[in-house]
């Protein structure tokens, strides 16, 4: 096993706190998608976690401006510095191999995280309620104002490892004055490891921790923290549904809807990019497309989309998976897709290296927009299509992180915006994966972490 420049690839991920890096006696192997072992990740016990939180809760709160400066400095360190002996090239090699993505994709994710950190002064300026101040010295306090206050001292993050991009969100908690502990995913723990190192180097010496644990101890982070941000599947969403301190980032079930007042042929590229962009793994990737009209129209659209995906696939990166996982996913598609029409390639598993495979896009058409299969979100380009009618209401679009509405009907767009079960609405020729710093992803994180308090002095 060697990297692009021939150096041996090995990886160690240990806990990081204000006390430094801690190599635990308990650990588990880190593996590439093909099963090869490249190192180990420490697993710290409950007592280590609770002691780390006791210290995080007492980390000094630095001034707002200082925090923002430190975050910008951290962005530079994250992108360029040698951190604990790790160069940016070493890091990109690790991320690319573990996530099964090409270096260019890893590099783009990394650049996006750094951009997000640098943009925090602007994005937080947009997030803060207009009537709120961040300092008792603000002259507005003399007249009486709202103070933007933290709802707690500590944030726990149970991260996922499907894309480095998930680590673009939680650093804003540092800007807001929280102390943050991240439990990395063992699939790709290198991004939070590097971020935490960069934050410490930039001055957040006692405000951030990396706490790799087994699944059982992961709950301890949530129990100990004042607020939590938890990534996972539907079971995770259900588990924490009743806990207002926990913000879950579950399946996105993002959808594209095309009304009959537009010509879908003009938007095939947009939809194909929504389905297959970011490797099809992101929660913003389109899982279902609702095409206004009858089933025949939906089938026609499905055939055209399958063709377009196949054309664009050649130039696209495809996420590499363990062969076993790829086969399981293909079987799962067959099981849940019973009764749907398949378009495009049906043998979707392609072995590209020993024990490693890629999955070709799945395009399937269901009989109607109520079919439960429309909510089946899988970590590769897989899209379910169904006929739809505006007259029947927007129920099939509820429960979506993003709805891209390719429509001219602004009254329809307004109904989508007014629906609480839809987090984002992009109207017109936009992909569901569209994003921009300052535009919320699932609400602003600050909605979960902050509140206003009345203040006068």
**Which residues bind to other proteins, rule: CB under 8 A?**
24-26, 44-48, 50-51, 54, 219, 223
Least distance (Å) from other proteins to the CB of residue 48?
Answer: 6
Q: Tokens representing 154? A: 């500590």
Residue bearing tokens 């009618």: 389
Please report, for residues 242, 330, 419, the alpha-carbon distance to residue 92 in angstroms, rounded to integers and kept in the order given.
38, 29, 40
- Kindly state the smallest distance separating residue 25's Cβ from other proteins, in Å: 4
CB-nearer residue toward other proteins: 44 or 374: 44
Cβ atoms of 45 and 152 within 8 Å: the answer is no
Q: Buried b / exposed e across 149-174, counting CB within 10 Å, b at 16+?
A: ebbebbbbbbbbbbbbbbbbbbbbbb
Q: Cβ 445 to other proteins, closest distance in Å?
A: 27
Q: Are 257 and 407 in contact (CB under 8 A)?
A: yes
Supply the minimum distance, in Å, between the C-beta of residue 188 and other proteins: 24
Q: From CA 25, how far away is CA 345, in angstroms rounded?
A: 48
Nearer to other proteins, 48 or 190 (CB): 48
Maximum distance among all alpha carbons in the chain? 70
Q: Give the C-alpha separation, 79 to 61, whole Å.
A: 26
CB of 98 to other proteins, least distance (A): 25
Cβ neighbours, 10 Å, residue 299 = 16
- 291: Cα within 13 Å, side-chain hemisphere: 28
Give the torsion sign (CA, 21, 230, 103, 175). negative
- Cα separation, 228 vs 208, whole angstroms: 14
Residue 241 and residue 5: Cα distance in Å, rounded? Answer: 47
Q: What is the closest distance, in whole angstroms, from the C-beta atom of residue 56 to other proteins in the complex? A: 14
Alpha carbon distance 147, 145 (integer Å): 6
List 229's β-bridge partners, or say none: 157, 247
Closest to 271 in 3D by CA, of 337, 363, 345, 334: 363
212 or 387, CB closer to other proteins?
212
* CB of 25 or CB of 457, closer to other proteins: 25
Q: Which is nearer to other proteins, 47 or 82 (CB)?
A: 47
How far is the C-alpha of 433 from the C-alpha of 445, rounded, in Å?
18
Task: Give 51 or 370: the residue with its C-beta nearer to other proteins.
Answer: 51
Least Cβ distance, residue 158 to other proteins (angstroms): 16
* Beta carbon of residue 19, minimum distance to other proteins (angstroms, whole number): 10
Considering the complex, what minimum distance in angstroms separates the CB of residue 26 from other proteins?
Answer: 6
76 versus 219: smaller Cβ distance to other proteins? 219
- Cβ-based nearer residue to other proteins, 51 or 115: 51
Nearer to other proteins, 46 or 345 (CB): 46
Distance of CA 385 to the CA centre of its chain: 24
């Amino acid at each position: 096993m060697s990297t692009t420049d021939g150096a041996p690839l090995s990886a160690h991920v240990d806990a990081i706190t204000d006390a430094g890096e801690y190599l635990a006696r308990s650990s588990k192997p880190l593996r590439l998608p093909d099963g090869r072992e490249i190192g180990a990740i420490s697993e710290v016990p409950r007592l280590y976690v609770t002691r780390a939180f006791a210290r995080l809760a007492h980390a000094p709160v630095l001034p707002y401006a200082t925090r923002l400066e430190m975050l910008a400095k951290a962005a530079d360190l994250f992108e360029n510095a040698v951190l604990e002996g790790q160069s940016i090239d070493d890091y990109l090699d690790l991320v690319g191999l573990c996530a099964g993505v090409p270096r260019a994709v890893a590099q783009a994710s990394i650049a996006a995280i750094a951009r997000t950190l640098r943009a925090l002064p602007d994005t937080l300026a947009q997030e803060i309620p207009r009537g709120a101040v961040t300092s008792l010295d603000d002259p507005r306090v003399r007249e009486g104002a709202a103070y933007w206050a933290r709802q707690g001292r500590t944030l726990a993050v149970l991260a996922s490892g499907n894309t480095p991009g998930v680590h673009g969100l939680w650093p804003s908690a540092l800007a807001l004055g929280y102390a943050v502990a991240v439990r990395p995913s063992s699939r790709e723990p290198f991004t939070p490891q590097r971020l935490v190192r960069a934050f410490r180097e930039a001055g957040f010496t006692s405000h951030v921790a990396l706490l790799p644990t087994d699944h059982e101890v992961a709950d301890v982070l949530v129990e100990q923290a004042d607020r939590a941000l938890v990534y996972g599947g539907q079971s995770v969403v259900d588990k924490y549904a009743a806990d207002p301190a926990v913000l879950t980032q579950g399946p996105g079930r993002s959808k594209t809807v095309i009304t009959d007042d537009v010509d879908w042929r003009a938007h095939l590229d947009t939809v194909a990019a929504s389905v297959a962009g970011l490797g099809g793994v992101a929660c913003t990737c389109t899982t279902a497309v609702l095409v206004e009209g009858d089933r025949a129209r939906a089938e026609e659209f499905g055939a055209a989309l399958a063709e377009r995906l196949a054309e664009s696939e050649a130039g696209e990166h495809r996420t590499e998976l363990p062969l076993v996982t790829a086969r399981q996913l293909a079987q799962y598609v067959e099981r849940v897709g019973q009764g749907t029409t398949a378009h495009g390639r049906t043998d979707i598993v392609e072995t590209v290296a020993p024990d490693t495979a890629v999955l070709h896009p799945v395009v399937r058409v269901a009989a109607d927009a109520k079919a439960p299969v429309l909510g089946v979100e899988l970590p590769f380009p897989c899209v379910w299509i169904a006929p739809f009618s505006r007259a029947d209401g927007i129920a099939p679009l509820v429960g979506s992180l993003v709805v891209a509405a390719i429509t001219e009907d602004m009254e329809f767009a307004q109904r989508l915006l007014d629906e609480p079960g839809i987090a984002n609405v992009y109207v017109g020729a936009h992909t569901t994966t569209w994003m921009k710093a300052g535009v919320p992803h699932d609400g602003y994180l600050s909605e979960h972490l902050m509140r206003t308090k009345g203040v006068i002095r």
